[in-house]
Amino acid sequence: MKTYTQDELKTLVGQAALQYVVPGEIVGVGTGSTVNKFIDALATMKGRIPGAVSSSTASTLRLQALGIQVFDANDVGELAVYIDGADEIDGRGYMIKGGGAALTREKIVAAQSRRFVCIADASKLVSALGKFPVPVEVIPMATQRLTRQFSAMGGTATLRLRDGVPLVTDNGQHILDVTGLQITDPLAFETQVNQWPGVVTVGVFAHQKAQVCLLATADGVQVLTY
Ligand code: 5RP
């Protein structure tokens, strides 16, 4: 049996996601190394779609470099499908996302789409969310208070740095990465944290869960539906 590298697995699911793209319709595009493989594959059918709505500056630049038109989310209606990766996905299609700091725009485009197709390699499938630190995009002046709120629920929040200074998202905000959380009810957790003043977006995607997961395994691409 052929052994795939992780990079090859990402290419496999990126290509497999093409079958979910609806010809003639604008596609929602996520962010990350797995999505980059999807974008590369999407270039092969760019003549059959009007273009894409993108979830980050990085994906926009990659799409445009390949000649795929990028639309503003405000200029288009509901999208047929949104294709994106995940940091963790559970057996119900609930996910942790935001490892690439694009969680807010990812959630916006996901909410604008009828169907979320998650593309991931098998290392992302978990029985319970929370081993991967939960990214939370925050307004910088709320960082200390939110750190204390996470601490009160048993979590440890760490400000994400890049090159020694706080990472600044595409929206001009910061990211807290929270470890040590017991996320037994992802829907309730997302609802609760979303209400805290200063939280822009919590990286638990339960209200915007996946309906399909294309999971790259040693045996090929498995299709999980929720
Ligand atoms: C970016 C994300 C990505 O989907 C997630 O981090 C997975 O990325 P990768 O495909 O590189 O493992 O949520 O904000």
Indicate if ligand 1 lies below 6 Å from the C-beta of 30. Answer: yes
Same structural domain, 14 and 118: yes
Same structural domain, 51 and 112: yes
pLDDT at 17: 98
Mutate to test the pocket of ligand 1, among 34, 83, 167 (most ligand atoms within 8 A of CB): 34
Same structural domain, 18 and 74: yes
Residue 166 belongs to a domain with what CATH number? 3.30.70.260
Same structural domain, 199 and 213: no
Same structural domain, 19 and 117: yes
Same structural domain, 161 and 99: no
Let me know if residue 11 belongs to a domain.
Answer: yes
Indicate if ligand 1 lies below 6 Å from the C-beta of 135. Answer: no
pLDDT at 26: 98
Let me know if residue 1 belongs to a domain.
Answer: no
Same structural domain, 25 and 67: yes
Mean pLDDT per block of 10 residues along the chain (226 residues) reads 86 98 98 98 97 98 98 98 98 98 98 98 96 98 98 98 98 98 96 98 98 94 97
Specify the residue for token string 């047929």.
80
Provide the residue range defining the domain that includes 218: 6-126+207-225
pLDDT at 182: 86
The amino acid sitting at 154 is G
Let me know if residue 31 belongs to a domain.
Answer: yes
Indicate if ligand 1 lies below 6 Å from the C-beta of 88. Answer: no
Let me know if residue 86 belongs to a domain.
Answer: yes
Same structural domain, 29 and 54: yes
Same structural domain, 42 and 117: yes
Is 106 known to be catalytic?
Answer: yes
Which value, to the nearest 10 degrees, does the dihedral of the CA atoms of residues 100, 187, 125, 6 take? Answer: -10
Which value, to the nearest 10 degrees, does the dihedral of the CA atoms of residues 138, 141, 144, 146 take? Answer: -40
Neighbour-count burial for 119-142, b at 16+ CB within 10 Å, e otherwise: bbbeebbbeebbebbbbbbbeeeb
Mutate to test the pocket of ligand 1, among 6, 10, 31, 95 (most ligand atoms within 8 A of CB): 31
Same structural domain, 102 and 19: yes
Let me know if residue 104 belongs to a domain.
Answer: yes
C-alpha 98 – ligand 1 centre gap (Å): 6
192 contacts: CB under 8 Å, gap ≥ 6: none
pLDDT at 2: 73
Same structural domain, 187 and 221: no
Count how many domains the chain has.
Answer: 2
Let me know if residue 221 belongs to a domain.
Answer: yes
Let me know if residue 219 belongs to a domain.
Answer: yes
Residue 21 belongs to a domain with what CATH number? 3.40.50.1360
Same structural domain, 91 and 56: yes
How many other C-beta atoms are found inside a 10 Å radius of the C-beta of residue 166? 14
pLDDT at 1: 64
